Amino acid sequence: MRALATALITLSATVLPTTATAATTRLEAENAALSGGAVVQTDHTGFSGTGFAGGFTDANRGTATTSFAWSAPAAGTYSLAVKYANGTGSPRTLTLRVDGAGPRQITLPATANWDTWSSASTAVQLPAGAHTFAYSFSSADNGNVNLDHLAVSNTVTESGPAYEAENATLSGGAVVQSDHPGHTGGGFVGGYTDANRGTARTTFRVTAATAGQHDLAIRLANGTGSARTLSLYVDGAKQRQISLPATANWDTWATTTEQVTLTAGQHDVALAFDSGDSGNLNLDSLTVSTAVQAGPGEAESAFRSGGASVQTGLAGYAGSGYVAGFGTVGARVVRTIKADTAGNATITVRFQSTSNATLALTANGRDAGALSFTAGSGWRTTTATVPLRAGVNTVGLTSTAATDVAIDSISASGEGSLAARGATVPYTTYEAEAATTNGTVLAASRTYRQIQSEASGRRAVVLDAAGEHLTVKLTAPANGLVLRYSIPDNAAGTGQRAPISLYANGTKQRDVTLTSEYSWVYGDYPYFNNPALGGGHRFFDETRILGDWAAGTELKFQVDTANGLAYVLDFVEAEAVPVAATAPANAVSITSHGAVPNNGSDATSAIAAAIAEGAAQNRPVWVPAGTFRISSRINAGNVRIIGAGPWHSVVQGTGAKGGFLATGKVTIADLAIFGDVRVREDNGSDPALEGNFGSGSLLQNLWIEHTKVGLWGDNGTNGLYAVGLRVRNTFADGVNLNGDVVDTRIDQSTTRNNGDDGLAMWSEGAPVTRTAFTYNTVQLPAGANGIAVYGGADNRIEDNHVSDIVTSGSGIAVSTWHQPVPFSGTTTVRRNTLLRAGSFEPNWNSAIGALWIYTADHEIRTPVVISDLTITDSSYQGVLMSWQKTMTPITFDRLTIDGATWGFEIQAAGSGTISGTKVTRASSGGLLNAQGFALTLGGGNSGI
């Protein structure tokens, strides 16, 4: 790229796209295949045809389905517009499956009443031929709608093929150049140099044939070696700052996509080098198309590591790309799949390959054979059968030879829908305050050190007299319970034990022993087991109970005999626990080396010996059902450790010791790691999982409690995928990814009652890079943030649910505290929900917002993008930006803040934008900008 003098160049010749639409086919619901309680009805007016499909009621949750059949005349992108009525007064959801795969939850906004109809459209990629489109009331939906018909039409092609940048309107130093090869059209636009910061701009006049979400595909070259930023404008209103990736050099071009909402008609889309941007790149073209969201089966949405990457060079893929790079041995893609029932499932992989290729197939960390991909042309499918468990599963494909293949999608027969935000969990939660009780229901309180301030929803029930009880009625069968409770400490601070009785339908089942040995700490951080220090907190603990109870069973927890103790109950979680799994083929059992379950003997040496044998012989290590006590950490590298399930196989630490120290690539799955830690000792206690996890590790379906930290991933960890963790009641972080951790993801996991951050990325000494927290549920961190990212490069926090921050932290923090390396690249926080987040920091006498951007030890000088964030009932500010150091550029897009002191409180210098954001119920006001932060208010805001 070369600098050119500032000029204003206006090119009147704009490339206008061609548009074409196909005829629409209407498929009446009353003529479709109805099942599971879906029936034809005619008791509301305004429908087309002879009736509509009803029966999507709560009684038919999980079964009601309307399935339409249609044949596509040619391959392409099609619009499925379902006409519906929703008189419930709130948005409702159904699940769409196309040809039995790729479930996608769709939202149907409320209509004025049951006689008013509306349409909701979904774009899908279809090959030519016969198809079925099934709309189901799945267990993850709230249903209760009526369906009239489905209109199927070709999605409009809007770009034909691109708007060339050299034909756009250029200003402020942006100029046409042609001195680098590889561009399309007659040239490209340069001039985005530092000399033109604040002025250079390229404005495209585009046409949207339909209203709705549109993808803007920006083709660019960026040979600077790092991501650069420009500002995106639509019709003169700044939308946000966007990050544009580095390319190999100035002769290499790449495409990145941004999504915007457009009305039908012409629009001006501008890419500007604003004063807060880093610029210094070249633009080739802009392509505008109707947004096609990737369904859950799309490979580009799955976890990737070892060289597997999202690519777009092959035409005809679905979603936003496909995954290739399997020419590197160890490259892998891992898809997380929810199965509604256990059993064998057909895995269908859509692929392209010009050479015969084979990838190793795994299911839930266990070998499942290999999948062959035959050489040929075009997109084709191959299938395999694997066993899936009810609930969350992983299906992985890993390269074992240097032959590449392109993977477009991975789907499973009969798969269900994962939760839209937060983890998909196997249990149902019954809150104590909503149960039947003759005890005392505590009023909601967020006052630190009041016992209910640490309860879910900030409410709980006290049972403190003989005969007082709490009763929940099961809505589904269960054979496993978790009771969250608190009983008082003893005078020495070492805890005490006491029974509570469990009844089922009035018949006593057993006494359940509760303990305060793992709860109650005192004084100030890091807190101690000395009641003389005063200020007790961290009141709650949990216990597990096995049994067998049918749906409708009334479970009662009762104080049979008064003992002077106050039992505080928070909730009951009930789930269907799978039977103990069997050993993998050819496994090394820890019992073959002398480990004995359930007798209290020390199994440390036996487990270490089994791991050594398994690693040497490339055989999995089997931890059968039972509790195995260990007295020190056990090294584990280049080995697979598999249990019978976390309700069955337990590795129990002794005192402050226990857990696994990773020394390389590992798979650890389907077991519990319980500690015996009773106070925080950073240099004296062991995490459950710690170390360098090497390249390509998997941690799945692990239950961790009473350790110092749940998972501490350290320098050298690359491509770790942790899915389905339950990390509860630890004395420090739930998860901390520390230092040089790359391409790692914590997914579909839950943390609760952690003494520090629930989930943290801490770039201590080296950046955490391209790492993500996705689809996790974080509850009740007892002394810090729900989720935090401290420095690092190009990290993501997406699709999480965080609730009930206790003290000294926020729901999500983007921070330079604790001396991390500075931020680089773009930090992205998207599609998260924060409920009753934010808290008070008593040591600072300061309030902390639900979302907290905190320049403590360094400025933030690279993009932070916050979008599609829902903040409800914050304890203090919705968004807090502090403290006085510069942060730039910060982008807020499509936030909803309902309930806060200030919607936004800015106590920092820097610059940023807010657009598409709604603030309601902010007692102090929508915005306090106290430090002269250069704030641009874009379109679509209210309450600010």
**What is the separation of C-alpha 175 from the centre of its chain, rounded to a whole number of angstroms?**
42
Residue 434 has phi, psi (to 5 degrees) of -100, 0
d(CA 748, CA 741): 19
Q: Are 719 and 697 in contact (CB under 8 A)?
A: yes
Q: Are 634 and 611 in contact (CB under 8 A)?
A: yes
d(CA 599, CA 615): 27
Range with lowest mean pLDDT among 142-156, 411-425, 790-804, 907-921: 142-156
| pLDDT per position as a tens digit, 613-644 | 999 999 999 999 999 999 999 999 999 999 99
**Mean of pLDDT over the chain:** 92
**DSSP conformational letter for 840:** E
Q: Are 271 and 165 in contact (CB under 8 A)?
A: no
d(CA 598, CA 75): 60
The model carries a pTM of 0.77
pLDDT surpassing 70 at residue 22: no
d(CA 27, CA 763): 55
Share of the chain above pLDDT 70, in %: 95
State the pLDDT at residue 739: 98
Positive or negative, the CA dihedral 558, 561, 564, 565 is: negative
State the pLDDT at residue 291: 56
**DSSP conformational letter for 109:** P
Residue 607 has phi, psi (to 5 degrees) of -65, -40
State the pLDDT at residue 161: 44
Range with lowest mean pLDDT among 46-55, 719-728, 815-824, 892-901: 46-55
One-letter identity of residue 55: G
Q: Are 736 and 707 in contact (CB under 8 A)?
A: no
Task: List strand residue ranges (DSSP E) for 505-602, in order.
Answer: 507-515, 541-549, 554-558, 567-575, 588-589
pLDDT surpassing 60 at residue 701: yes
Q: How many residues are recorded in the chain?
A: 944
d(CA 839, CA 874): 8
Range with lowest mean pLDDT among 45-59, 551-565, 583-597, 633-647: 45-59
Reported as type and span, the H/E element at residue 348 is strand 343-352
How far CA 578 is from CA of 304, 341, 343, 394, 643, in Å, comes to 29, 11, 12, 17, 13
How far CA 198 is from CA of 201, 275, 283, 285, 893, in Å, comes to 9, 4, 17, 21, 22
| pLDDT per position as a tens digit, 288-320 | 876 554 456 899 999 999 999 999 888 878 877
Taking Cα atoms as reference points, which of 211, 110, 96 lies closest to residue 150?
96
| pLDDT per position as a tens digit, 444-499 | 999 999 999 999 999 999 999 999 999 999 999 999 999 999 999 999 999 999 99
d(CA 818, CA 857): 7
What are the beta bridge partners of residue 823?
792
d(CA 8, CA 628): 75
